[in-house]
């Protein structure tokens, strides 16, 4: 059994532990062996502490031997995107400016995972400060797509998606500011979910755009996503944007079949920009819902075209403010070439930040500058309200919305590096849900002729994650595309 432990879902591992068929130490060793075997090709991890991983596993087995199991994730590994604080572990945000930084505290999601007995393991690669759609912007090298190592895994949470796809971890955490969980989930053929804004605490997350960022799960199955979301959700007084909502039992709710439901297809999301194979596979997934007894109707989200420009004003403005703290003075890289106080600030940031981070900070600072604030940032916030109202009107007609997750399958490494606009359009179907603060999920819906995964994007109503998970699970339990394993 130890030879196949790394291929099991989190739910299966939990059941095997509860039945005494395996141990947390055996599970940990299996994933260490898997990472050693394949991560040189994939490069999902930036850092691993295998000794600490095994120590956590021993502690889990000790608890279980005394009949003190902490729940279904006790003894199950969860790897973490390198923007989430884990006490005593490095946090680089894939940037040179934080090259030597070690977290002095745990993020709230990590506290919750540790209370649940999960084995918190490893730091996963990303686009620097979560700014990108390909995980090529990492200062420590790109992550490769496990289904085709010459292709990108998506981004910014590319390491988190690739680790699950390559079976280097059964569960991972990512962050989603404009699609950074869902787009790489689609490109790597796994499940990725962005919860409602405020449902999961952001305390301990290195901030990119504070009004957009959310932490969420990656997994092979919707069932596993529900288990992880259950653990990390809930109000947190340490996060002023955390919403005091009761956390439902997401896992138990999956047993109830949804429907019949009204599902909306926004006409603005099915234009000419979609790759034909993506369109075909998404259409087949939509037909599944029709055959399952749900009503599928066309709807309109007329402000969709504004999503990209609105996002790249609001997100960059917030990024320029958030990243001002990395100043070369306190806990970041400090330039050896600095000759005065201004040099420390300018040269440390110039050396520490990559090109994409600099581009976004400059754009954001411009949008917030005197004389331009009203023309750009304020207008973007007003347009954001109109985008949110589009969704409110749509949800008066439908229970959930179906779209492609990404307009294309995974593209080749380097293909869009010289064209930032083409890279930004990778998230054209995911950005609007961040602007509206809604929950959304990508579930694998098949493979192209070249063997690349495609994702179906399902958008739910605010704080109705239970309904969203049921809709996704209805498809996932029948097709199980996320259970397929790439040949590495």
Both tokens assigned to 211: 């009004």
Q: Which of 180, 201, 233, 426 is catalytic?
A: 180
Q: Is the peptide bond before 53 cis (omega within 30 degrees of 0)?
A: no
**Cα–Cα distance measured from residue 191 to residue 223, given in angstroms and rounded to the nearest whole number:** 10
**Cα–Cα distance measured from residue 116 to residue 128, given in angstroms and rounded to the nearest whole number:** 30
Non-local CB neighbours of 137 within 8 Å, separated by 6+ positions = 94, 127, 128, 131, 155, 156, 354, 355, 356, 357
Is position 240 annotated as part of the catalytic site?
no
350 CB neighbour count, 10 Å cutoff: 14
Is position 85 annotated as part of the catalytic site?
no
Both tokens assigned to 263: 């599902």
- Are 209 and 314 contacting, i.e. CB atoms less than 8 angstroms apart? yes
Both tokens assigned to 416: 């869009």
Q: Which of 23, 30, 60, 81 is catalytic?
A: 81
Is position 335 annotated as part of the catalytic site?
no
Considering only CA atoms, which of 8, 7, 11, 28 is closest in space to residue 73? Answer: 11
Considering only CA atoms, which of 238, 249, 255, 242 is closest in space to residue 200? Answer: 242
Considering only CA atoms, which of 433, 389, 450, 413 is closest in space to residue 155? Answer: 413
Q: Which of 156, 201, 233, 242 is catalytic?
A: 156
Q: What does the chain come to in residues?
A: 488
Strand partners, 298: 265
φ, ψ (nearest 5 deg) of residue 90: -65, 150
Active-site residue set? 81, 156, 180
């Amino acid at each position: 059994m130890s030879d196949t432990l790394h291929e099991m879902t989190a739910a299966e591992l939990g059941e095997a532990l509860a039945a005494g068929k395996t141990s947390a130490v055996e599970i940990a060793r299996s994933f260490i062996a898997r990472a050693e075997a394949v991560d040189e090709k994939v490069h999902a991890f930036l850092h691993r502490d295998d000794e600490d991983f095994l120590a956590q596993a021993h502690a889990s087995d000790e608890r279980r031997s005394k009949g003190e199991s902490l729940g279904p994730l006790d003894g199950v590994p969860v790897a973490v995107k390198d923007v989430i604080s884990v006490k005593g572990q490095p946090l680089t945000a894939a940037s040179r400016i934080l090259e030597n930084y070690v977290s002095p505290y745990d993020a709230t999601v990590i506290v919750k995972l540790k209370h649940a007995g999960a084995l918190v393991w490893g730091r996963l690669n990303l686009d620097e400060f979560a700014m990108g759609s390909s995980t090529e912007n990492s200062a420590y090298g790109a992550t490769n797509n496990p289904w085709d190592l010459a292709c990108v895994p998506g981004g910014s949470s590319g390491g988190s998606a690739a680790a699950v796809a390559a079976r280097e971890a059964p569960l991972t955490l990512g962050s989603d500011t404009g699609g950074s969980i869902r787009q790489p989930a689609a490109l790597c053929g796994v499940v990725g979910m962005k919860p409602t804004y405020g449902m999961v605490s952001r305390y301990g997350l290195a901030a990119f755009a504070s009004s957009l960022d959310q932490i969420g799960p990656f997994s092979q199955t919707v069932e596993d996503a529900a288990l992880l979301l259950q653990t990390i959700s809930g109000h947190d007084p340490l996060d002023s944007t955390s919403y005091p909502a009761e956390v439902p039992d997401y896992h138990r709710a999956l047993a109830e079949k949804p429907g019949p439901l009204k599902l909306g297809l926004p006409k603005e999301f099915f234009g000419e920009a979609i790759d034909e194979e993506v369109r075909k596979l998404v259409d087949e997934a939509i037909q599944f819902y029709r055959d399952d007894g749900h009503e599928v109707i066309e709807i309109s989200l007329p402000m969709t075209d504004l999503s990209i420009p609105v996002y790249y004003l609001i997100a960059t403005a917030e990024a320029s403010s958030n990243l001002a703290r990395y100043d070369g003075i306190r806990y970041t890289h400090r330039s050896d070439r600095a000759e005065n106080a201004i040099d420390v600030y300018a040269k440390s940031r110039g050396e520490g930040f990559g090109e994409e981070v600099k581009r976004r900070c400059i754009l954001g600072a411009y949008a917030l500058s005197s004389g331009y604030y009203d023309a750009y940032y304020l207008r973007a916030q007003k347009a954001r309200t109109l985008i949110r109202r589009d969704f409110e009107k749509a949800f008066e007609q439908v229970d959930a919305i179906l779209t492609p997750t990404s307009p294309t399958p995974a593209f080749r490494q380097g293909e869009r590096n010289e064209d930032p606009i083409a890279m930004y359009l990778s998230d054209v179907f995911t950005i609007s849900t961040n602007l509206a603060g809604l929950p959304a999920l990508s579930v694998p819906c098949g493979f192209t002729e070249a063997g690349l995964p495609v994702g179906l994007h399902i958008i739910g109503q605010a704080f109705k994650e239970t309904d969203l998970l049921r809709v996704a699970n209805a498809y996932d339990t029948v097709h199980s595309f996320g259970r397929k394993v790439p040949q590495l």
